[in-house]
Amino acid sequence: MTTQFGAEPTLDRPIELNFRGDWGQANFHRVCGWIAQEVGDRCPDGSRFAIWSGRGGADQLDALQAGEVDIVVVTPTAAVCALFNGAVSIGGRSAQPNLRALGVIGQRDRLVVAVDAELPVQSVADLAATANRLVIATSQDDGVNLIGWTAHHGLRLAGADPESLRAAGGRFLYSERPFPAIHRFATGEANVLIHEAIMMPAWQRIAKVRPVRYLDWGAKVFDSFAALGWPAAEIEAGYLPGLEQPLSTLDFSDFAIVCRDGLPEDVAYLATWCMIRTRRALEVQYAHFPPDHTPVTYPLDLAAMANAPIPLHPGAVQAYSDLAGDTGDGEILIWS
Region 126-154: what's the mean pLDDT? 98
| CA–CA separation, 102 and 72 (whole Å) | 10
For residues 76 and 147, give the distance between their C-alpha atoms in angstroms, rounded to a whole number: 9
Neighbouring-strand partners of residue 19: 51, 71
Confidence at 4, pLDDT banded by 50, 70, 90? very low
- What mean pLDDT is reported for the chain? 95
Predicted confidence band of residue 3 (pLDDT cuts 50, 70, 90):
very low
With bands split at pLDDT 50, 70 and 90, how would you rate the model's confidence at 334? confident
The answer on pLDDT for 2 being more than 60 is: no
Q: What is the average per-residue pLDDT within 279-294?
A: 95
- Residue type (1 letter), 124: V
The pLDDT of residue 1: 56
- Mean pLDDT, to the nearest integer, of 164-179? 97
DSSP state of 18: E
Rounded Cα–Cα distance for residues 259 and 265 (Å): 11
Q: Taking the alpha carbons of 122, 128, 133, 138 in that order, is the dihedral positive or negative?
A: positive
The 8-class DSSP code of residue 307 comes to -
Are 308 and 256 in contact by the 8 Å Cβ rule? The answer is yes
The long-range contacts involving 93-98, CB below 8 angstroms and separated by at least 24 positions, are: 93/58, 93/61, 96/61, 96/65, 98/65, 98/260, 98/261, 98/262
pLDDT in tens, 57-103: 999 999 999 999 999 999 999 999 999 999 899 999 999 999 999 99
Name the band, by pLDDT with cuts 50, 70 and 90, for residue 329: confident
Asked if pLDDT for residue 330 goes beyond 90, the answer is no
Looking at residue 16, what DSSP letter applies? E
pLDDT-above-70 percentage for the chain: 97
Give alpha helix (H) positions in the chain.
27-40, 58-65, 77-85, 146-158, 162-167, 178-186, 219-226, 265-277, 279-283, 302-306, 314-322
Q: What is the DSSP letter of 125?
A: G
Cis bond before residue 76 (omega within 30° of 0): yes
Domains and CATH numbers, the chain: 16-107+254-322 (3.40.190.10), 110-251 (3.40.190.10)
| Full-model pTM | 0.94
The answer, yes or no, to whether the previous bond of 299 is cis (omega within 30 of 0) is: yes
Nearest C-alpha neighbor of 47 from the set 22, 16, 77: 16
Instruction: Output the pLDDT for position 78.
Output: 96
CA–CA separation, 51 and 176 (whole Å):
20
- Residue 328 has what pLDDT? 79
Q: Is 208 helix (H, G, I), strand (E, B) or coil?
A: coil
On the question of pLDDT at 118 being above 90, the answer is: yes
Which residues partner with 250 through β-bridges? 111, 232
The rounded distance, in Å, linking the Cα atoms of 282 and 136 is 35
